[in-house]
Amino acid sequence: MMKLPSGEMGLPWIGETVEFYKAQRSNQLFDSFFQPRIKKHGNIFKTKLMGSPTVVVNGAAANKFFMSNEFKLVVSSWPTSSVELMGKNSIMEKQGDSHRCLRGIITSTLNVSGLTAMVPRMCSSIHNHLQKNWQDKEEISLYRSTKMLTFTIVLECLFGIGIEPETLFGVFERVLEGVLSPPVNIPGTKFGRAKKARSEIEKKLVGEIRRKREAMEGGRDEEDGLLLSKLVAALIRGEITEDEVVDNVVLLVFAAHDTTSYAITMTFKMLANHPDSYSLLLKEHEDIAKNKRPGEALTFEDVKKMEYTWQVARETMRLNPPIFGSFRKATTDIEFEGFTIPRGWKVLWTTYGTHYDETYFPDPMSFNPSRFADPIQSYAFIPFGGGPRLCAGYQLAKLNILVLVHYVVTRYNWSLVYPDERILMDPLPFPSKGMPIKISPKSHHN
């Protein structure tokens, strides 16, 4: 006998979608949507979202089961508008060998030698960004600044794309705005605008890809070890198509951009509100800076010393995960913990379900970075997901957060303008006022 998890399916067709969206917009998904249902029905409950019967799963065992059974019992499942805007050839839509092939190319730029080469490049992108956007300013929007910066870093340090970041930023933003809006392609809708922006990007990228291909085939372009060269090399070898290159560039910018900038913004917010943690963190960076000449770039070895900073960043992402969870689709009837999840139903894993559970994180709502000094149970801390779809850019995000924190705290005194600024979601979380901060340069850098 099939036993479905308990829970409510809400209204016909729309189910509990309205409650879900309402909670999401005000960044209350845990308090207003997940927690009351977990209390009533347990860690595994059913609901209906956006027309699909969905089982929400929480807890380390469930995370492990559903994440590691990707491709076997479930496959990731994105809304139509995301697929149309990212493209059908992006890694999110791939399975099996073609997934492995693309993932291999992406992660090969983020191995030890890739990261070692990336650190000085990232230092230079960050230095230039601060010179251009922070110099002589008394107040800046930390969120807007880090968005532009993470975008620049993806283009310059991950891909090695020679197009001026400023000329692409606005167009990419327009694509992202349509990613979770209804897929109605008529002028004037968010989705319509996003589609148009996507074709603009496509044109520019195709030009860049063909130039690179010609140069590489003519033996003129040195292998720079960056992702665009690696993708074009795979294109020349016939392993992937031009469409695949374009779709994955768009997807990676999307995956990297708002997530990392939100993590950075919230790291500063947590530091501002926890001065003891800030003192410890500052000491870590001053110790590293002491051994550097003025203006000398960091090395990968320096970044490895930023252990406490990484504890702060992880604790920040535990409390403020940039991605609240992700949908899967059951490709077969699934038995889990005595329940059946019928084939075709969606499964939603959530970060909150373990991040806010005292079983895994005692006193879960308090900010305590040093809890990460001890090993954490696997599949309990999941801001980057897990299993075959574990975030492919995890190392880049980590480097970006650590290196930027280093530059800001060693060069600037800073404080939040609004210590209690609200966080909203659309669909990713963001500070409602762009998190303005007051800044003044530290004297030894004048």
Residues that bind ligand HEM (CB under 6 A): 76, 91-92, 103, 106, 158, 252, 255-256, 259-260, 263, 322-323, 326, 383-385, 389, 391-393, 396-397
Chain position carrying tokens 């609901």: 47
Q: Would you say 134 or 159 has its CB closer to ligand HEM?
A: 159
Q: Strand 412-416 relative to strand 334-336: parallel, antiparallel, unpaired?
A: unpaired
Q: How far is the CB of 386 from ligand HEM (least distance, A)?
A: 7
Q: How far is the CB of 107 from ligand HEM (least distance, A)?
A: 9
Q: Would you say 55 or 252 has its CB closer to ligand HEM?
A: 252
Q: How far is the CB of 433 from ligand HEM (least distance, A)?
A: 21
Helix axes 142-153, 394-411, angle to 10 degrees: 130
Q: Would you say 121 or 196 has its CB closer to ligand HEM?
A: 121
Q: How far is the CB of 384 from ligand HEM (least distance, A)?
A: 5
- Tell me the CB-side half-sphere exposure of residue 300, using CA atoms within 13 A: 11
Q: Would you say 289 or 317 has its CB closer to ligand HEM?
A: 317
Q: Is 107 exposed, middle or buried (0-12, 13-18, 19+ CB in 10 A)?
A: middle
Q: How far is the CB of 319 from ligand HEM (least distance, A)?
A: 13
- Tell me the CB-side half-sphere exposure of residue 376, using CA atoms within 13 A: 21
- The strand pairing partners of 412, in sequence order, are 441
Q: How far is the CB of 293 from ligand HEM (least distance, A)?
A: 30
**Of 147, 185, 180, which is closest to residue 166 (Cα–Cα)?**
147
Token pair in block for residue 422: 């609200």
Q: Would you say 171 or 391 has its CB closer to ligand HEM?
A: 391
| Cβ-Cβ contacts under 8 Å for 236 (sequence gap 6 or more) | 213, 216, 217
Distance (Å, rounded) from C-alpha 343 to C-alpha 340? 9
Contact between 267 and 405 (Cβ < 8 Å): yes
Q: Would you say 232 or 289 has its CB closer to ligand HEM?
A: 232
Q: Would you say 341 or 392 has its CB closer to ligand HEM?
A: 392
391 is in an annotated binding site: yes
Please report which residue ranges of 237-274 form alpha helices under DSSP H: 242-273
Contact between 379 and 60 (Cβ < 8 Å): yes
Start-to-end Cα distance in the chain: 73
Q: How far is the CB of 154 from ligand HEM (least distance, A)?
A: 7
Q: Would you say 324 or 361 has its CB closer to ligand HEM?
A: 324
> Is 180 strand, coil or helix?
coil
Contact between 112 and 276 (Cβ < 8 Å): no
**Of 14, 176, 84, which is closest to residue 22 (Cα–Cα)?**
14
Q: How far is the CB of 172 from ligand HEM (least distance, A)?
A: 14
Q: Across 246-370, where does the E strand assignment appear?
A: 325-330, 334-336, 339-341, 346-350
Residue with nearest beta carbon to ligand HEM = 393
Binding residues: 391
Binding residues for heme: 391
